[in-house]
Structure 1
């Protein structure tokens, strides 16, 4: 489908524009040599990735500015490229320790292993770029070990919890009086949205970006814009189709706000629903199903991936459907199911018939 200018522009193009504007604002706070780095990685990264790197690299230079007496005398934007050669491995290791807990604008900020790893990835990428370009003499960031991530148990809904969740969304059970006021207005939308997430495993960002003409009810196909910037088609079962069609009849009666005319899922304000709104509605409904699990849209994605792997035993199929470029990413998340598959294999293969079997 062709991209059009104005209100019909695709959601992900609009988001890229927003991220590009934010990126320019962050660049104005970084050393000037950083502009060359971000231009250099532009062909291989998304606007969202570059913005994340920019925020993380700014944190690093703010740290240096705060702790180093010499650098404190200079504005961060005036730092020259040779500062990267001056930084020692110990400086970066101390930076990682600082990330565990620090204050910014009277706000306490913490980083666990995942946050530290992300910030180190940004730093490594910048060092690697300038080192390969032979603009610095050493790649100090490469000498620092990446924070080790501890494997966390996959949190997902069990089949009976999935059924209970969808039943409660339809019935509005256990909602507060204030929540029930809006339930009739959002019930069909919420059922369609949760059924879609649970029935396809798409990301929440992919879900909110769906336009009406992205759905083909003849083939049960859904066009989504994947993380990484490419489009693909995922297919949904008839149960998802029914939920989407039920909501579509209601959606046709709504007059969307300017800029959201093509959006499939609308908020109560008739604007394209946001990622935060989906996160909130998942939280609202799921806490009435389980109090022991913190369910997010990503956990619904994990629920789908686990169920697909449990039924198919095909890790490559799961990786393809979930949009993982590297099957090892999928294997890492769903390896716990391998033991169950191996046990099932042991029950399937029989060497001799037992008495009474033919």
Structure 2
């Protein structure tokens, strides 16, 4: 679908920019589905109604990748295109075929381009997702009586490393202060970077404060609009994974930096293209900032805090980890932090609380009632 012909007729509470973004992803899903066999149609409906839009897209990408593998790397099908693969071809697939695909082929394969050959490597986390996608497909086809057997029990396990609290990358509280000082006064920036900083420092500061206060996901922040904020009520609205609509409370710091950016730095509405008039964070071209530009911004300022290269700076997700650990360090319960950051499982939040166990140990160790 041409973007020029795309008109939003929006009767939902979602802003138009989110509806358009979701529609673009839906179009990508439909394009992949059109290239897959017709016997998978009911599975497409299952995905549409059971997983998030981003997961649906990821699953479909994995499945068409597997189907291309069947054609180019195996003798399990005589089909010339992925669309022509038959249910009979899938019936011939054994668990060992999937294990070879995931464990051998996917771990390292080559993509030949016109001027180069790219080596693609997948580690266990990526392999586990591919396994999850194919497990979902094969289980559904078995339940839908297209396959006579459920072969997924024969899929090899993929061991994932257990997350370790010490390995979580985040800024310490003093490093957050250095980062905010950098965006406040330009310290640590190159002369070229300072030219842009003079024009965007209030915007950049608002972005960093939002990330480190709420632990927002990149997508949640990038989609924010001016209309997302209700300063009279002291709250703003975000749209989380799986379409969840959430009102977040404003504190004084966040309200201050947002208002300062809007009133003192953001371009006047008259000179902003109609499509971006409501977008909160704008580029110098007066367009909604892209996820890539926000990511680069965060890496730049975090690299100053870490005293490292720009390439080694942290991603927005590391600021999410920073917010979680800082909130717990300030004494908020893991359940409150779980709710604020929208963690599906409290064990995720507990990883950020692990360092407090060491603090408790040090306190007790140095507070002895009985002498040796």
- Per the alignment, residue 300 of structure 1 pairs with 319
**Which stretch has the larger CA shift, 270-279 or 133-142?**
133-142
Q: RMSD value over aligned CA atoms?
A: 2.6
What's the counterpart of residue 41 of structure 2?
35
Could you tell me how far apart the structure 1 residues matched to 2:205 and 2:327 are?
21
Match of 2:280 in 1: 264
Shift of residue 19, structure 1, vs aligned partner:
0.7
- Distance in 2, matches of 1:326 and 1:252, equals 41
Name the residue aligned to 1:87: 93
Corresponding residue for residue 346 of structure 2 = 327
Cα distance, 1:181–1:80 mapped onto 2, change above 3 Å: same
Please list every run of 5 or more consecutive structure 1 residues that lacks an aligned counterpart in the other structure.
none
Note the alpha carbon deviations across 1:260-289, whole angstroms, 9 max, x for none.
111111111111111111001111222222
Q: Report if aligned partners of 2:53, 2:242 keep a CA contact under 8 Å in 1.
A: no
Q: Which residue of 1 aligns with 2:357?
A: 339
Structure ranking higher on relative contact order (CA contacts 8 Å, 6+ apart)? 1
Contact 2:77 2:89 in 1 (8 A): no
State the match for 2:197 in structure 1.
183
In structure 1, what is the equivalent of residue 109 of structure 2? 102
State how 1:54-203 maps to structure 2 within 5 Å: 54-71=60-77, 73-96=79-102, 97-106=104-113, 107-150=118-161, 151=163, 153-203=167-217
Inter-CA distance 42–297: structure 2 relative to 1 (3 Å threshold): same
Bigger shift: residues 141-150 or 217-226: 141-150
Q: 1:307 to 1:322 in 2, by over 3 A?
A: same
Q: Compared with structure 1, are the counterparts of its residues 60 and 276 closer, same or farther at alpha carbon in structure 2 (3 Å cutoff)?
A: same
Alignment of 1:309-328 (within 5 A): 309-312=328-331, 314-328=333-347
Consecutive unaligned residues of structure 2, counting only runs of 5 or more, are: 1-8
Structure 1: distance between partners of 2:359 and 2:138:
43
Alignment CA distance shift 1:257-1:139 (3 Å): farther
* Larger deviation, residues 245-254 vs 191-200: 245-254
1:17 is the counterpart of 2:31: no
User: Aligned to 1:287, what secondary structure does the other structure show?
Assistant: helix
Any conservation in 2 of the 1:200–1:235 contact (CA below 8 Å)? no
Instruction: Give a deviation string over 1:312-333, Cα, whole Å, max 9, x none.
Output: 35222121111123323333x4
Q: For residues 104-151 of structure 1, what are the alpha-carbon distances to aligned partners after superposition, in whole Å with 9 as ceiling and x for unaligned?
A: 243322111111111111111111222222332222234313422213
**Residue 301 (structure 2) aligns with:** 285
For the 8 Å contact 2:325–2:353, the answer to whether it is kept is: no
- For these two proteins, the number of residue pairs brought into alignment is 349
Distance 2:252 2:370 in 1: 40
Change (3 A) 1:351 1:155: closer
